Structure 1
Amino acid sequence: MMTSLRIAFLPLTDAAVLAVARERGFAEEEGLSLDLVRTTSWATLRDRLVYGQVQAAHMLAPLAVAVTLGLSQQPAALAAPFKLNVNGNMLVMASDFAKALDPDIVRRLADPLGTAHDFAAAIGLWRRKPVIGVVHRFSSHALTLRYWLASAGVDPDRDVMMRVLPPSLTVEAMRAGEIDGFIAGEPWGSAAVDAGLAETAAIGERIWRRGVEKILAFRESWMEENPDSVDRLLRALARAAAWCDDPANHGELAHLLSQPRYVDQPAELIACALSGNIVARVGEPAVANPDFMLFSREATPFPWRSQALWIYSQLARWGMVEHSADNAAKAGGVFRPDIFRRALANSAEPMPGASMKLEGAVAAPLAVGSRRGELTLGPDSFFDGRVFDPDRIEAFLETFGARR
């Protein structure tokens, strides 16, 4: 007998693992029938999950932490036992604004610190306080943007204006002149560049390599009450993630996601993120970023608690939550490596031996301890060289000074 699960998602390339689990039969082989509910905004998706309209959701990792901490509504305990991808977003700005940045696109993307300083200078030359679209206040994109801007002395709360809008509306908002740029998951940045509206200013993968992006979120209570369904879903997703990461499947995957029920954008734009070949300025050759978006390799699906705590550190840095041991524990507890290990215990999935690590400390591929098989982690460095120790959050926050 099949078990039906309703899962909410937004039309983004990083919903790929859910789409493939359904369309390639991985879920069906686990006795699951997936009803994927296409949703427009992250706020609506959040509410569908919190109020029980769906059993699970493709969710911004910081949003799951924020909901658990009660930052966007009454607290609702969410749990994330599986990461759907890492990286995969980029900041695009109006072509006129981008004239103040390094004209060499390859150099611009390779040097995020230098580009941040160029961006700071461009703010002073622009006709108004730049309006930058973000998909949600509690998104990896918004936190990444804040981190990057602040490195060049830009105060993201005073020097720019962040406007929240759904990813699928970003391109039209640029066309209408309502925003001067935006940071979002693919394929929306590529769509803005392809339309001649924008150039790429920075990509997430160069700001925090292997930075956490989307997770599979459950209401914690539902997850605990339905362990068999959860385990079967995670096994299906792990197989789907491996399929998505195989370059031989990228053409088929781009075509699948291009369909109206998923992303509803041209397959060639979707393929940019999958291949990592990013067209940063219309009419110019693509810039190769082979780690632009990962789904499976290097234990991408594993929910490191240290990544949830890095998210928490940024919420505390910007005064969105008061730092306390209790809040840190709640935030770190959103990511559930214990459930991941239980679900995939009898699979071939590499299993990290630890649940936390120093974030930003891996500068080159590194073989690490694994409970099964060989596991090599890729570089996870931050562009500014900082290292985040999840056991020393207060010390990390102090490195940002009084105006964190």
Structure 2
Amino acid sequence: MNAGHRVTVGFLPLLDSAILVAAREKGFAEAEGIELFLVRENSWASIRDRLAVGHFDAAHMLAPMPIAFNLGLAPLAARTIAPMALGLGGNAVTVSRRLWDAMKHHGAADDLDPAEAGRALRAAITAPPGGERPRFAVVHPHSGHNYELRYWLAACGIDPDRDIEIVIVPPPLMPDALAAGRIDGYCVGEPWNTAAAIRGLGRIVTTKSLIWRSSPEKVLGASAEWADANPQALAGLLRGLYRSARWCGDAANRAELAELLAAPAYIGCPVEWLVPALSGHLHAGDGTEVDVADFFIPQERAATFPWKSHALWFYSQMVRWGQVAASPQNEAIARDSYRPDLYRSALRSLGVALPGANAKVEGGLTEATPVGSAGASLVLGPDGFFDGKVFDPDRIAEYLVS
């Protein structure tokens, strides 16, 4: 099919830009009448600003960012919707060699277990009296990285506002910041954890998918004004991205996907930095290899569905960490930032599995579970938080009290 709509989309050099890259390079967008023009940026602030001033129609975006924009938490931001997610998982926590040595002294193991790693980190940072607080980097204040790092630390008895310092560093700069001694650890998407491990700069200590299984990470963030004015272009884009996600999720395509992403126009890194995250066979550092089967999920488990319960969990964390006040109005803004209605409308013609609900209890599935859906069969889970907590989007006030 000849391209009928030109759509400009910003992205950052990260593994989870995969669905966008493959949609362009493998022709999935073009087959839906979309001329997909991808523009690489190096910081989430640039993505925010260029979407706000109309340079981009849509963007590869941190999942909490549309919510933050619509809540007025960014000084320069357009009203933004999330009509599609771009996969589950994909992040990890990496620490410096020096901090890892201290954690090992306090019993840290090689298995990436978040509870054990957290206990060792707590002991390591409280052992030396009068020492400076360790400095950890995340990619943006309104990021899954910030919230999952804080969630993990707090659940392990570490106060993320008192016991450590959290700073903002763009993803590609994190390994070098660690090497320069400017930070002691970071939470970031791939390949920037594997890069530090392979280069001998740091050690991966846990992953997003172990802190919260089947957890959201990036979304397609679209200008609400553009989406309203171009419904056919948006629908075509969503169909092309869904077909791309299906291709990305096929293990037979991993080698080709790694080659595509490694190109200078996209991530611009050695292919061997990308293969571990795509296969789930991670190189944690010092020759240690650990299998994390669901490290990054492009398509299975409704990985591209924009769950309103995901939006509300991010909102709950914004409230928890003092970024926004809790109110029925703010809760409604967060909920309405994610648009499963647009996802359903665009994909219904493909006969794909569509969840029967727009929200679910997060952490309620201990094993893979077939669920009611429109179209093909759908399996969700396992999901869940490492500390056993459950998030019910209908009981946010109780959750915040807990």
Give the one of 261, 280, 283 matched to 2:284: 280
Q: How far apart in 2 are the matches of 1:174 and 1:376? A: 39
Q: How far apart in 1 are the matches of 2:179 and 2:64? A: 29
Contact 1:58 1:216 in 2 (8 A): yes
Contact 1:92 1:200 in 2 (8 A): yes
Contact 2:93 2:188 in 1 (8 A): yes
RMSD: 1.2
1:202 paired with 2:206, answer yes
1:86 paired with 2:101, answer no
1:189 paired with 2:196, answer no
Match of 1:15 in 2: 17
Match of 1:55 in 2: 57
Q: How far apart in 2 are the matches of 1:6 and 1:55? A: 5
Q: How far apart in 2 are the matches of 1:105 and 1:3? A: 52
Work out the number of aligned pairs and report it.
396
**1:14-53 matches, cutoff 5 A:** 14-53=16-55
1:311 paired with 2:314, answer yes
Give the one of 150, 154, 158 matched to 2:158: 154
Give the one of 222, 236, 243 matched to 2:240: 236
Amino acid at match of 2:333: K
How much does 1:133 deviate? 1.1
Give the one of 341, 355, 380 matched to 2:344: 341
1:301 paired with 2:312, answer no
Amino acid at match of 2:218: K
Deviations 1:76-122 (A, max 9, x none): 32100100011100000011211233566443x1x312221211111
Change beyond 3 A, Cα 1:277–1:44: same
Amino acid at match of 1:71: L
TM-score, structure 2 normalization: 0.96
How much does 1:280 deviate? 0.7
Amino acid at match of 2:209: E
Match of 2:218 in 1: 214
Contact 1:98 1:199 in 2 (8 A): yes
Identity of aligned residues (%): 44
Deviations 1:205-229 (A, max 9, x none): 0000011100001111211221100
What runs of 5+ residues in structure 1 fail to find an aligned partner? 400-404
**1:144-183 matches, cutoff 5 A:** 144-183=148-187
Match of 1:124 in 2: 126
Which stretch of structure 1 is more off in the superposition, 98-107 or 353-362? 98-107
Deviations 1:281-300 (A, max 9, x none): 2323x211110001101111
Indicate the SS of the match to 1:35: strand
How much does 1:75 deviate? 6.0
Indicate the SS of the match to 1:299: coil
What runs of 5+ residues in structure 2 fail to find an aligned partner? none
Match of 1:402 in 2: none
How much does 1:128 deviate? 2.3
Match of 1:6 in 2: 8
Match of 1:291 in 2: 294
Contact 1:69 1:75 in 2 (8 A): no
Amino acid at match of 1:212: P
How much does 1:74 deviate? 5.5
Moved over 3 A (4+): 102-107
Indicate the SS of the match to 1:215: strand
Contact 1:299 1:377 in 2 (8 A): yes
Deviations 1:158-215 (A, max 9, x none): 1111110100111111111111111100000000111111111111100000111000
Contact 1:105 1:280 in 2 (8 A): no
